[in-house]
Homo-oligomer: A and B are copies of this chain.
Amino acid sequence: MTPAGLSLDAPLLLRQIHALGAIGHDAAQGGRTRIALTDADKAGRDQLVRWMRELDLDVRIDRVGNIFGILPAASGDGRPLMVGSHIDTVRNAGALDGCYGVLAGLAVARAYRQAGILPRRAIAVGAFTNEEGVRYQPDMMGSLVHAGGMAAQAALDAIGIDGTRLGDELARIGYAGDMEPGTLVPREYIELHIEQGPLLEAEDRLIGVVENLQGISWQRVTVTGVANHAGTTPTRLRHDAGYAAAACIAYLREQVVGAAPATTLATTGSLRFEPDVINVIPRKATFTVDLRDPDEGRLQAAEQRFADFLVALAAHEGVAIDTERLVRFQPVAFDPGLADRIEAAARRRGLPHMRMTSGAGHDAQMMARIAPSAMIFVPSREGISHNPREHTDDAQLILGAQVLLDVVQDCLAAH
């Protein structure tokens, strides 16, 4: 039912998702672990490359280990269309994060192969190195290098949390390719991914048309007060680092998020008290602040309101408050034309869909630096990911891949 009569081999796509998910699987924990450039990652890459070769794709590997399987164009020139994601995982992961987008890319190529036709432009299926950033920092490394945001040599010289050098591990597992990163500049980049959030499920939609990706602001806040006896120190003489931290968290939710458009998110995921004793007023509290918004102006406004609050709080409680910026990414706007094509494809198939923002980071945000890019989301049950309980119904996975195939054909028909 797709244009040009192409059809998706849904059962094979699902089998490949399960087969890839079996590599690095730990029956006791329930998940699989294929952290970048480990033996398990090598086993996953080997499987992916075998599948690419079965489809007679031209497999190319660049110096940082990004893998591309290229379905050639029917005739000569024109920049390729790229679909892709990553196949490395966090520890004890689900089977879908990243892998779904790469394997759906193979399913698109397979649809052409099974129909016996070639696309008007080449289709490259990409699997980027080290998207998760568990072992080597930064995350989204392969796509960042591909997009020119990091030198290949710097990536190769990255030292992991286990003391290893990325370039050495890449060579060890046989994925130090010779192609210069960034050689393949696509005309468009489309990434299909599970949502990793609860919105599609909550809104009862099947397809997320991802039109942008949130800006992220991470800070570590350290409050230094005075430790004192909980029973003998009157409230007016307290310099309570713990109360100050709590007041910040409450303020972020109630005043910053509460007063902002619903797009602004604030989270404190980590908090520690010192000395952390029941009857001692905390001397020190250290906590993180994760602020996100798809709009840079609103993100800055939230940061500013919080900064102003810290100044007033420090004076009021008689504590010192220091902040350290850990991460700051500006929002990424995806290509409106591509988003329109995704929305149109979902509409043609009669699938409930919604425009949305990606709350997590993805390779697509790096690719957006060098090519019109967009993402397609499918629902994540209960919003869970990075966990063996990560789940999307098979039917939802199939519909998402169909939309991807539709959009690819639509793009190729247009250009």
Contact = CB atoms under 8 A, between A and B. Distances in A.
A228 B271 contact: no
A271 B265 contact: no
Interface stretch (A12-20, A147-155, A275-283): A275-283
Given A360-B232, A385-B229, A268 B290 contact: no
A385 B275 CA distance: 14
Interface in A376-411: 382-386
A164 interface: no
A312 to B, nearest CB: 14
Nearest to A218: B278
A380 to B, nearest CB: 8
Contacts of A250: 243, 246-247, 250
Contacts of A195: 232
A235 to B, nearest CB: 6
A164 B65 CA distance: 60
A237 interface: yes
Given A270-B277, A278-B269, A257 B235 contact: yes
A105 B200 CA distance: 74
A112 to B, nearest CB: 33
A242 interface: yes
Contact of A268 (B234, B243, B267): B243
A292 interface: yes
A273 interface: yes
A245 interface: yes
Interface string A288-299: 101010000000
A230 interface: yes
B234 A265 contact: yes
A131 to B, nearest CB: 15
A318 interface: no
A198 interface: yes
A4 interface: no
A70 to B, nearest CB: 32
B265 A279 contact: no
Contact of A229 (B247, B248, B268, B359): B359
A40 B82 CA distance: 74
Interface in A206-255: 214, 216, 218, 226, 228-237, 240, 242-243, 245-250, 253
A213 to B, nearest CB: 9
A56 to B, nearest CB: 37
A214 B242 contact: no
Nearest to A383: B228
A195 to B, nearest CB: 7
A262 interface: yes
Given A273-B271, A277-B270, A290-B279, A243 B232 contact: no
A373 interface: no
Contacts of A383: 228-229, 232-233, 237
A143 interface: no
A217 B82 CA distance: 63
A234 B214 CA distance: 12
B290 A278 contact: yes
A267 B262 CA distance: 33
A80 interface: no
Of A195, A271, A385, the most chain B CB neighbours within 10 A belong to A271
A257 B270 CA distance: 26
Contact of A242 (B216, B268, B280): B268
Nearest to A237: B198
A202 interface: yes
Q: Which of A237, A267, A326 has the most CB of B within 10 A?
A: A267
A199 interface: yes
A361 to B, nearest CB: 8
A296 B255 CA distance: 36
6 contacts: A231-B292, A231-B360, A237-B383, A243-B249, A247-B249, A247-B253
